[in-house]
Structure 1
């Protein structure tokens, strides 16, 4: 594999709206085939009267504590305030606050505004942030910059820590997309193993996918596919949290909560776990996602064909019975379709002799 093409042969679904082009380009530069299905869209900043009302309240009665959950949310709040000629007043109101942040990016955004940070939850999770706030908010007025609806328990938990009252600052609204036909295709594609990985850059987008799958009666199948065949890649622990709660065992969570770190971790994971190399009687066979390379001849397989070939390659030349093969293939229409599917698979290979039939026993790699 030539340098820079580490993801060649892999199909990756991108679910973000904001900065999606940047992510898609990073994946495609590394050879990946991508599809783009935004699970959420950020509502336009056309009518921000509610946010401006919250801003005027903060200016009139500056809180003792400000909790910042996301860098983008803080910047969007200040952009809205400045457009209404309230930016300077908001900045002065926050100068006297004790500011706590969730994660490194939020910390950087606060410092970029020239404000002082009293503490930062480096782990980047709501749990770590609440632990940081323990003993810091008792009897205090607190303003919390919200990320999305799933951050609402954070305001409740801050009240439980003893805050006198909590003002929720909501800089942006997400437009939920779960009924979109494209999302149906994404859910079905994940369940059928048509993707090697799916990327997530926000917790609300994960919630939308899980809601869409549940509405279609496919949530257990979706979770099983993530655990067995499709790699879920997240930008950080906050994004990974709803996947873990749904039962997805090992979503990728980079140590540095950055999109670039997520891409690099995905390269490592797919190269290690998604690539299968076997020396066969027909030469070196390498399966990367849905791309088969046999003696330097490449071909692209259908998801079902790739799944069958992976099962046979993993057996390392041992016979796989028809029943074993049919049981392991979640997308096989019926057991009777197996022989026809194997016939089509052989015809699509650079060398049909790679797969041999063992009479009355099953199939194996030559």
Structure 2
């Protein structure tokens, strides 16, 4: 018998939610989608200005935190007929990279990083970043509205001057959707909820935090696609967070199926 047979699994993802639900269904369960990320909004004017500022200033490090951000900046450079200059300067800069999608973007553009966060977290990336080699050493930090101030403050505390690039942001998700998911979790009518980003976790835990944490620590299994998302769940006081050995959606569903299969035999 498949581990997910008769299991109701909440899917907090927006993108790829259909694919995740299909994988769950193939393993005998039912996926119930509650888009919790919020609509992605590209800040085209900001992104274009970020590219121009990057090309006209000197930076000791370029930190790219997301594949979406790197691609948005590249598209803005292309739109302004500056892609050649943009990529050429990046090839000469020291690049510090977080995230598998960011690495995919680097490979597509034949760029090589100087530093890579092996576990996909900003904490690990910052632990690798050397102290400034000179006064006024500067960093071009690509981030977005979530945790951007925290990241900037950490770099400034280390002695860097920081240029903050925010090529995109997320609008808040539907209040109705959020309330519906929270109610399902609190009532424990879902067997598990899968999260594919820390943003989804933050959005859900904005209200009813204690009730949600208690439900996850009781019967609702919290499932994360990778370490960054898992840490956000753990920071909410959730004692058990299931995550795959590889941060992939397919591997996440397989890990969940194996978890329930193991429970059936114990």
**Which digits, 9 at most, give the CA deviation of each residue in 1:226-279, with x for residues without a partner?**
111111111111112221111011212323222222122111222223x478xx
Mapped to 2, the partners of 1:110 and 1:173 lie a distance apart of: 21
The aligned counterpart of 2:122 is 126
The aligned counterpart of 1:198 is 193
Give the C-alpha shift of residue 137 in structure 1.
Answer: 6.6
Assess, with a 3 A threshold, how the Cα gap between structure 1 residues 128 and 243 changes in structure 2: closer, same or farther.
Answer: same
Mapped to 1, the partners of 2:133 and 2:184 lie a distance apart of: 46
Find out whether 1:254 has 2:244 as its counterpart: yes
Question: What are the equivalent positions in structure 2 for 1:221-300 lying under 5 Å apart?
Answer: 221-273=211-263, 275=264
| Aligned partners of 2:3 and 2:259 also within 8 Å | no
User: Residue 96 of structure 2: which of 84, 96, 100 is its match?
Assistant: 100
Assess, with a 3 A threshold, how the Cα gap between structure 1 residues 48 and 103 changes in structure 2: closer, same or farther.
Answer: closer
The aligned counterpart of 2:12 is 15
Mapped to 2, the partners of 1:82 and 1:27 lie a distance apart of: 39
The aligned counterpart of 1:27 is 24
| Aligned partners of 2:98 and 2:120 also within 8 Å | yes
The aligned counterpart of 1:181 is 176
Assess, with a 3 A threshold, how the Cα gap between structure 1 residues 155 and 82 changes in structure 2: closer, same or farther.
Answer: same
Unaligned 5+ residue runs, structure 2? none
| Aligned partners of 2:41 and 2:171 also within 8 Å | no
Question: What are the equivalent positions in structure 2 for 1:71-110 lying under 5 Å apart?
Answer: 71-110=67-106
Assess, with a 3 A threshold, how the Cα gap between structure 1 residues 124 and 38 changes in structure 2: closer, same or farther.
Answer: same
The aligned counterpart of 1:160 is 157
Give the C-alpha shift of residue 171 in structure 1.
Answer: 2.5
What TM-score results when the alignment is normalised by the length of structure 2?
0.91
Assess, with a 3 A threshold, how the Cα gap between structure 1 residues 243 and 143 changes in structure 2: closer, same or farther.
Answer: same
Equivalent residues, number: 265
Mapped to 2, the partners of 1:62 and 1:111 lie a distance apart of: 24
| Aligned partners of 2:41 and 2:170 also within 8 Å | no
What TM-score results when the alignment is normalised by the length of structure 1?
0.67
Assess, with a 3 A threshold, how the Cα gap between structure 1 residues 202 and 117 changes in structure 2: closer, same or farther.
Answer: same
The aligned counterpart of 1:295 is none
Unaligned 5+ residue runs, structure 1? 278-366
Give the C-alpha shift of residue 114 in structure 1.
Answer: 1.0
